[in-house]
Amino acid sequence: MDVSCKTRDRMQSRPIRLLAAAGTLALSAGVWSTVAAQGVVGDLPGGPAVNQWNFHPPVTRIAQDQHWLHGFMLIVCAVIFVVVFGVMFYSILRHRKSVGHQAQPLAEPLWVELGWTIVPLLIVIGMALPATWVLVAQKDTRQSDITIKATGMQWKWGYDYIKGEGEGIGFVSTLDNSHRIMSSSGNPPPTDDYLLKVDHPLVVPVDKKIRIITTANDVIHAWMVPAFGVKQDAIPGFVRDTWFRAEKTGDFYGQCAELCGKEHAYMPIHVRVVSAQDYSAWVQEQKKARAPPTAAAAPVQAAAAEVLPARP
Ligand SMILES: [Cu+2]
């Protein structure tokens, strides 16, 4: 290709590039105006926030410790990175061949050998100790006030209160149908709790140690609530446990955290943390709703049984 040909190509390609850039800009503006016209998604208290770059605000001691651990490890790693790469690049630049640096025989003094063995060892111990403490604390499920079994199913959660106040209560928690409809529409409106709303949230009292026993009845799921610092696999045929003690009342959200099939994104977790009084009232309400038929209702049920034919 000669020079004049190259110049002609460049002249032809410039308007095309300009046109493409204008098109992209118009498309972006269109998308932006559509989003703006529809409304904007806001933060969900206890759940994800818009442009969230850090963990969820912690509401348990374990979650606070995990955040501290994360920050601590990040700082240690960043300092090591800066020091090691700083020394390395300084050495490369200062002692390069082009400035006439001559290599010198290395005496291998003992203090250097000891230093680069002992210092990293101390750093590893300094990182392992707090990490082990937090790990052991988050696995200590003893002396819980309430024990709840969470059973993962494709694609919902079953909750059974098996010990403590509320013992005997059990229900299934499923994605709220309005969210299913929104998702099926293919163009869901901006919704703060999109795919996180359930029909029956898990209700627990504040400041009580709640032990969650996880299992599953089909494939592996995982029970995760980031604000509590809790994430535990639910494995069919096995029982695992975890715990939390929420320090604040409110609604907290999580999701199944183990890819479990085509509707993995449709099995949210909603935990409602209430005061001790509200929890007792909720327990009474649930027990009343689940109570066996009273003497007044029994004759009606007996009559209904006579009318309806018995199932084979
Ligand atoms: Cu799942």
The CATH number for 146-290, chosen from 3.40.50.170, 2.70.50.60, 2.60.40.420, 2.40.30.260, is 2.60.40.420
Alpha-carbon span 215 to 221, nearest angstrom:
8
Could you confirm whether domain 48-92+115-140 is CATH 1.10.287.90? yes
Q: Kindly list the domain boundaries of the chain, sorted by start residue.
A: 48-92+115-140, 146-290
Identify residues whose C-beta is under 5 A from ligand 1, the ion. Answer: 221, 256, 260, 267
CA of 267 to the centre of ligand 1 (A): 6
193 Cα–ligand 1 center, Å: 18
Omega prior to 53 cis, within 30 of 0: no
Mean pLDDT of the chain: 85
pLDDT (tens digit, 9 = 90+) per residue, 246-303? 999 999 999 999 999 999 999 999 999 999 999 999 999 999 888 777 655 555 555 5
Supply 163's token pair. Answer: 């010990």
Report field, pTM of the whole predicted structure over 0.85 = no
Q: How far is the CA of 225 from the centre of ligand 1 (A)?
A: 13
CB-CB contact of 175 with 146 (8 Å): no
Residue 227's DSSP bridge partners are none
**Residues recorded for the chain:** 312
pLDDT over 70 at 79, yes or no: yes
- State in Å: Cα 216 to ligand 1 middle: 9
Would the pLDDT of 15 be above 60? no
Ligand 1 center to 252 CA (angstroms): 18
Averaged over 33-38, what is the pLDDT? Answer: 46
pLDDT exceeds 90 at position 59: yes
